[in-house]
């Protein structure tokens, strides 16, 4: 469990070589495209009937209509445990508070007298938000997807989540309650790649969307890849992961629990400890088996921690540890070191950074106010987590008057000539003759 990788005693290799040495889950999206492509094509051609048959075959649920009725949403909220409802309401309030500060305002720049460029921020018209329900019904993902879309001003929001046989073919009641709390009335009991196809092509009462967001398994990711271009997507998400950069000040019980909490998600989840303290590493490795045994999903966790995607990386010092975690570019990165805030400020690549002993990933998963839909598989090197900006498009509005155009006509002629595009110059020249 949690194999060791010892990088002490010599200079660290370059980023590319270092990345190859670190634990990482292998996600072969191409391997499932042959399965997902005909499924999506079936939904495109046959619509709701295809969805019904696929759902019956894969989920064991035969829903004549996969649209969730309003009374089911109302009932789920009415029957929601008061403690859970209070937690959802607090999570919503905190995520709304953080994301409200992400709103963009239109800006007009006067380039020259009589010539302006305005950047308008326009929300996507309609989005489909996917909420997983396989190994765990991620009702918190309803909050993380819906809130930024609402704050961005998206006018039409639909949610899809897999049907549950134990709940009469409806999505998990907690998922429905979260939708009801957020005022989402368009919800579909459909999961996997077929849900992405429903959003992309439209089926039944679901009209096509412009964008799909939300985490999912490899089949969901493959469907996103197939339909990308027809729809916008947030990312091609892989298995979830955590990296913890820790020194000898870290509490090994905390570190062990945090590694286990992420491994709980999925047998492919990655859990990586990077430390310059062999004593801490030994203590964590001693504690993990006992904590795993006491956990409900011990088989799933054991598989994740035994996998090639998890491990303990020993380094000479925190500076070397920073190089390692930047090369890894974790979805979630915890900093449990001396001067944790200063160390965190030096990190370049991470989906989200959790600073100090009292900021575990679980906090961000639910109620910190941050978003938990984050880049995985090293994609944090070049992409960000879900936010209000994810649902906005910047549109430049150009307005020049006659004199402002005349003042730059010569430059346009020169550039058009250099590119051998005389029609470009002619479109300006004709205005100079009238």
Q: Each residue of 165-214: pLDDT tens digit?
A: 989 999 999 999 999 999 999 999 999 999 999 999 999 999 999 999 99
Q: Indicate whether 371 pLDDT > 80.
A: yes
How many Å apart are CA 221 and CA 267, to the nearest integer?
A: 17
Residue-level pLDDT at 163:
95
Instruction: Check residue 29 and give its pLDDT.
Output: 84
Kindly report the pTM of this predicted structure: 0.93
Region 116-125 average pLDDT? 97
Annotated ligand binding at 262? The verdict is yes
217 is in an annotated binding site: yes
DSSP annotation of 30 reads H
Complete DSSP assignment for 51-97: HHHHHHHHHS---S--BPPHHHHHHHHHTS-HHHHHHHHHHHHHHHH
Q: So what's the pLDDT on residue 343?
A: 98
Rounded Cα–Cα distance for residues 233 and 220 (Å): 11
User: Is the pLDDT score of 428 beyond 70?
Assistant: yes
**Alpha carbons 390 and 373: distance in angstroms, whole number:** 11
- What is the DSSP annotation of 324-338? HHHHHTEEEEEEEST
Alpha-carbon gap, residue 49 to 43, rounded angstroms: 8
Share of the chain above pLDDT 90, in %: 87
* 152 pLDDT more than 90: yes
In the sheet that holds 330-336, the strands lie side by side as 3-6, 311-314, 270-275, 241-246, 330-336, 350-355
Give the mean pLDDT of 227-242: 92
Per-residue confidence (pLDDT) for residue 30, from 0 to 100: 83
- Copy the structure tokens of residue 52: 């019904």
Q: What pLDDT shows up at residue 434?
A: 56
Q: Could you list the active site residues?
A: 331-332
What's the number of CA atoms in the CB half-sphere (13 Å) around residue 142?
Answer: 30
CA angle, residues 269, 377, 386, in degrees to nearest 5? 95
For residue 253, pLDDT over 90 is answered with yes
Q: How far apart are CA 64 and CA 48, in angstroms?
A: 9
CA distance 116 to 411: 17
- If one compares 147 and 15, the residue with the highest pLDDT of the two is 147
pLDDT 10s digits, 355-368: 999 999 999 999 99
* 365 annotated as ligand-binding: yes
Q: Where do we find the tokens 């409802």?
A: 85
pLDDT of residue 166: 87
Q: Is 240 labeled as ligand-binding?
A: yes
Mean pLDDT of the chain, nearest integer: 95
Q: What is the mean pLDDT of residues 283-294?
A: 95
* Closest by Cα among 400, 399, 370 to 385: 370
Per-residue pLDDT averaged across 37-66, rounded? 95
Dihedrals phi, psi of 182, to nearest 5 degrees: -90, 5
Q: Is 221 annotated as a binding residue?
A: no
Residue 247: is its pLDDT beyond 80?
yes
Confidence class for position 41, pLDDT limits 50, 70, 90: very high
Q: Which of 103-107, 236-240, 253-257, 266-270 has the lowest mean pLDDT?
A: 236-240
Q: Is 336 annotated as a binding residue?
A: no
How far apart are the two ends of the chain, measured CA to CA in Å?
79
Q: Indicate the burial class of 29 (C-beta count within 10 angstroms; 0-12, 13-18, 19 or more).
A: middle
| Residue 424 annotated as binding site | yes
Nearest-angstrom CA–CA distance, 254 and 191: 35
Using the predicted structure, report yes or no on whether residue 388 has a pLDDT greater than 80: yes
Q: What is the pLDDT of residues 106-120, one digit of tens each?
A: 999 999 999 999 999
Interhelix angle 70-78/173-181, nearest 10 degrees: 100
- 297 annotated among ligand-binding-site residues: no
Give the DSSP H/E element, type plus range, for residue 6. Answer: strand 3-6
By C-alpha distance, which of 195, 219, 191 is closest to 133?
A: 191
Which of 10-19, 97-106, 310-319, 418-427 shows the lowest per-residue confidence on average (mean pLDDT)? Answer: 10-19
Q: Which of 355, 376, 114 shows the shortest CA–CA distance to 235?
A: 376
């Amino acid at each position: 469990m949690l194999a060791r990788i010892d990088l002490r005693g010599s200079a660290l290799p370059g980023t590319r070589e270092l990345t190859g040495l670190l634990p990482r889950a292998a996600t072969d999206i191409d391997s499932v495209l042959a399965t997902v492509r005909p499924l999506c094509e079936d939904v495109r051609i046959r619509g709701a009937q295809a969805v019904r048959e696929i759902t019956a075959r894969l989920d064991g649920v035969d829903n004549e209509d996969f649209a969730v009725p309003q009374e089911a949403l109302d009932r789920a909220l009415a029957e929601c445990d008061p403690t859970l409802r209070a937690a959802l309401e607090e999570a919503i309030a905190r995520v709304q508070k953080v994301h409200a500060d992400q709103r963009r305002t239109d800006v007009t720049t006067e380039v020259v007298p009589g010539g302006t460029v305005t950047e308008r921020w326009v929300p996507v018209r309609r989005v489909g938000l996917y909420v997983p329900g396989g190994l765990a019904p991620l009702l918190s993902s309803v909050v993380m997807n819906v809130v930024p879309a609402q704050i961005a001003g998206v006018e039409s929001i639909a949610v899809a989540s897999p049907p549950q046989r134990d709940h009469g073919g409806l999505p998990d009641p907690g998922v429905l309650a979260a939708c009801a709390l957020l005022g989402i009335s368009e919800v579909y009991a459909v999961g996997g790649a077929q849900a992405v196809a429903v959003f992309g092509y439209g089926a039944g009462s679901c009209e096509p969307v412009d964008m799909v967001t939300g985490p999912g398994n490899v089949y969901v990711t493959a469907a996103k890849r197939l339909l990308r271009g027809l729809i916008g997507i947030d990312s091609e998400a892989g298995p979830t992961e955590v990296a913890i950069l820790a020194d000898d000040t870290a509490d090994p019980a905390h570190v062990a629990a945090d590694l286990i909490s992420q491994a709980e998600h999925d047998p492919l989840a990655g859990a990586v400890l990077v430390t310059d303290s062999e004593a801490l590493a030994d203590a964590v490795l001693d504690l993990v088996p006992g904590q795993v045994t006491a956990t409900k999903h011990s088989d799933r966790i054991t598989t994740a921690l035994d996998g090639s995607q998890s491990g303990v990386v020993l380094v000479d010092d925190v500076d070397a540890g920073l190089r390692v975690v930047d090369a890894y570019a974790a979805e979630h990165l915890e900093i449990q070191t001396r001067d944790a805030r200063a160390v965190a400020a030096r990190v370049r690549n991470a989906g989200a950074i959790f600073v100090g002993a009292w900021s575990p990933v679980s906090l961000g998963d639910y109620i910190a106010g941050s978003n938990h839909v984050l880049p995985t598989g090293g994609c944090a090197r070049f992409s960000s987590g879900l936010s209000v900006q994810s649902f906005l498009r910047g549109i430049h509005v150009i307005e020049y008057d006659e004199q402002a155009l005349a003042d730059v006509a010569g430059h346009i002629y020169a550039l058009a000539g250099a590119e051998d595009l005389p029609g470009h110059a002619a479109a300006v020249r004709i205005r100079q003759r009238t």
